[in-house]
């Protein structure tokens, strides 16, 4: 935990003391420079759910290592709140969310409107109205619909787009932004 020569706590030691979890190797991405812009040496995600009342505020990555227990909590938090089905959320989506949050320089947590969607939930939403894709990336755990009261939809979308790492949808009339790790594209106003 400490460097014996200097007596200083190292980041590795801090990780061990703070997380007390096994680490998994960080995946590499071909567009890492653009993808991780705003990510930093420590990645943190802050969200709350108006549907479940749950909150999450955690460091999930330190210097190239994902903290498996933290990532598992994020998967659970981003579950389909209607069916309680949990799916692993693509780490690229979590990284995009964290990087965009850092770029906006806000302390307010995201309000998570939708993370993983079960096929049952997605079909029900499609029946209720338009704008829900049949093969939504939400079904794969690769998308999130988010809101911030301290930032406009346009500000959030610009921050997510600056990551150059996935899809960004602006839903101004519903006051949320869709972020995903699919192909780089944007839509909405």
What confidence tens digit (pLDDT) does each residue in 129-166 have? 867 888 999 999 999 999 999 999 999 999 999 999 99
In whole numbers, what is the pLDDT of the chain averaged over residues? Answer: 84
Cα 39 from chain centre: 11
Nearest partner of 163 among 182, 135, 189, judged by Cα = 182
Instruction: Give the pLDDT confidence of 45-84 residue by residue, as tens digits.
Output: 999 998 999 999 999 999 889 999 999 999 999 999 999 9
pLDDT at 39: 55
Give the predicted TM-score (pTM) of the model: 0.78
Query: Max CA-CA distance within the chain?
Result: 65
Predicted pLDDT of residue 24? 33
Q: How confident is the model at residue 56, as a pLDDT?
A: 97
The proportion of the chain whose per-residue pLDDT surpasses 90, expressed as a percent, equals: 71
Give residues with Cβ within 8 angstroms of 121, minimum separation 6: 80, 82, 83
Task: State mean pLDDT over 108-113.
Answer: 98
Q: Which residue has the tokens 């192909």?
A: 183
Indicate if the pLDDT at residue 30 is higher than 80. no
Q: Give counts: helices (H), strands (E), the chain.
A: 6, 11
Domains in the chain with CATH codes: 23-188 (3.30.1380.10)
- The pLDDT of residue 129: 80
11-15, 71-75, 122-126: segment of lowest average pLDDT = 11-15
Task: Considering only residues 68 and 1, tell me which one the structure prediction assigns the higher pLDDT.
Answer: 68
- pLDDT number for residue 189: 82
Dihedral sign, Cα of residue 25, residue 27, residue 96, residue 75 = negative
**Is the per-residue pLDDT at 3 higher than 60?**
no
Sort strands 2-3 and 23-25 into parallel, antiparallel or unpaired. Answer: unpaired
Greater pLDDT, 80 or 1: 80
Side by side, the strands of the sheet bearing 65-67 are 23-25, 65-67, 55-62, 42-48, 110-114, 143-147, 176-180, 167-171, 185-188
């Amino acid at each position: 935990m400490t460097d014996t020569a200097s007596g200083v706590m190292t980041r590795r030691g801090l990780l061990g003391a703070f997380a007390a979890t096994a680490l998994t190797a960080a995946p590499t991405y071909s567009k890492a420079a653009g993808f991780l812009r705003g990510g930093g040496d420590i990645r943190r995600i802050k969200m709350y759910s108006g549907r479940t009342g749950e909150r999450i505020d955690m460091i999930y990555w330190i210097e190239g290592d994902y903290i498996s227990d933290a990532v598992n909590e994020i998967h659970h938090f981003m579950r389909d709140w209607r069916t309680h089905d949990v799916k692993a959320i693509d780490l690229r989506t979590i990284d995009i969310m964290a990087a965009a949050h850092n770029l906006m320089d806000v302390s307010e947590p995201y309000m998570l409107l939708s993370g993983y969607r079960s096929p049952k939930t997605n079909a029900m939403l499609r029946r209720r109205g338009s704008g829900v894709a049949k093969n939504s990336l939400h079904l794969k755990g690769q998308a999130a619909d988010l809101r911030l009261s301290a930032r406009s939809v346009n500000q959030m979308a610009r921050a997510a787009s600056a990551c150059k790492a996935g899809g960004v949808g602006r839903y101004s009339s519903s006051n949320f932004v869709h972020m995903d790790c699919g192909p780089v594209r944007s839509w909405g106003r």
